[in-house]
Amino acid sequence: MIDSPSGSANGTVQGTARETAPGKTSGTGAPSRRTSEATPYVDLTRAEWSALRDKTPLPLTAEEVERLQGLGDVIDLDEVRDIYLPLSRLLNLYVQATSGLRGALNTFLGERGEQRGTPFVIGVAGSVAVGKSTVARLLQALLARWPEHPRVERITTDGFLYPMEELKARGLMSRKGFPESYDRRALTRFVADIKAGKEEVTAPVYSHLIYDRVPDEQLVVRRPDILIVEGLNVLQPALPGKDGRTRVGLADYFDFSVYVDARPEDIEGWYLNRFRKLRQTAFQNPDSYFQRYTQVSEEEALEYARTMWRTINRVNLLENVAPTRGRATLVVRKGPDHKVQRLSLRKL
């Protein structure tokens, strides 16, 4: 993948809801919306979803939203109000319900010991350039405004990519972003430790500038109320061990998960548009791994980007990322203009 900078500065279903299966796709790569079969999801239009925000106030200004969006993303206050406010309200309800379940468990355990609360973990998955990083940043900002859970941390799985030297040694440089290019054991252990309630957990730090991990630098996470884990393959099921036994996977520790979906053809356009903008900005830095693409013509640079999309990112999307869509709690579907059009919420 072109693992380039994001470009940022850093209950009741209303309406006439239809049901669909996010795991099923049409010939275009977009989810099928056949309504004749029962599915585990409730399918909602943008208007139906927006109505579910109830009276939740909008805590972000236009300037804050602009700082949170990624390069090439189209996010405005209407999008935040219609899509992400209802989602923050839903997640707040989930967090409170989890706390209630913990109380029930403590009642059941009685004298055997009260269970201390552990962080609520949210996974955000989707293709390169689909806008999942913006979704994760918006959720972090919105959820932190709720008084029940002010401490919201966010990590990306980029830090758990193998260092470049190891990727080269394993012959995986052309598979960067594929499941095998990550230290999945370390990533799963990190989230497991968070979920276990450890006081302090560390993660590697990745730099999009140098296209590699930053040596001797770590991100420290200290008992957040909510942890958001964002990445291409966060919904991947665990691989069997060498002994053939099923292992616990990263997604097994999620309390809620979001898949950001769009047609591959639309994502390709966003990807190329982002590459153009990065070529004019971040790639100009002499330390940038991609600085060499500022020394050739725009058409030559874009042909490289098209090749990377066709041979790496699109292949990874269709073979590894999109097949995990049906494992998500919520599927958010974007149209060609980057605006969310429909959402599918898993039933309980």
- Tell me the pLDDT tens digit for each residue of 268-299: 999 999 999 999 999 999 999 999 999 999 99
Comparing 68 with 199, the larger pLDDT belongs to 199
Comparing 18 with 242, the larger pLDDT belongs to 242
- Within the chain, strands assigned E span 41-45, 120-126, 152-156, 201-207, 212-221, 226-230, 256-261, 330-334, 340-346
Q: Is 127 annotated as a binding residue?
A: yes
Comparing 206 with 25, the larger pLDDT belongs to 206
Of 211, 169, 206, nearest in space to 186 by CA = 206
- Tell me the pLDDT tens digit for each residue of 100-114: 888 888 888 886 666
Q: Is 132 annotated as a binding residue?
A: yes
Record the tokens describing residue 264, joined without a space: 């591959």
- pLDDT(49) > 60: yes
SS3 23: coil
The answer to whether the beta carbons of residues 131 and 260 sit under 8 Å apart is yes
Q: Is 133 annotated as a binding residue?
A: yes
Output phi, psi for 212, to 5 deg.
-160, 170
Of 320, 329, 326, 343, nearest in space to 128 by CA = 320
- pLDDT(29) > 70: no
- Tell me the pLDDT tens digit for each residue of 53-100: 887 877 877 787 877 776 566 688 889 899 999 999 999 999 999 988
Domain 41-346 in CATH 3.40.50.300: yes
- AA identity, residue 346: R
- What CA–CA distance (Å, rounded) separates 47 from 189? 40
Output phi, psi for 306, to 5 deg.
-60, -40
Instruction: Return the exposure string of 257-272: e unless at least 16 CB atoms fall within 10 Å of the residue's CB, then b.
Output: bbbbbbbbebbbbbbe
**Half-sphere exposure (CA, 13 Å, Cβ side) for 95?**
25
Q: Is 30 annotated as a binding residue?
A: no
* Structure confidence at residue 236 as a pLDDT band (50, 70, 90): very high
Q: Is 181 annotated as a binding residue?
A: no
Q: Is 23 annotated as a binding residue?
A: no
- pLDDT(13) > 50: no
Q: Is 282 annotated as a binding residue?
A: no
- pLDDT(16) > 80: no
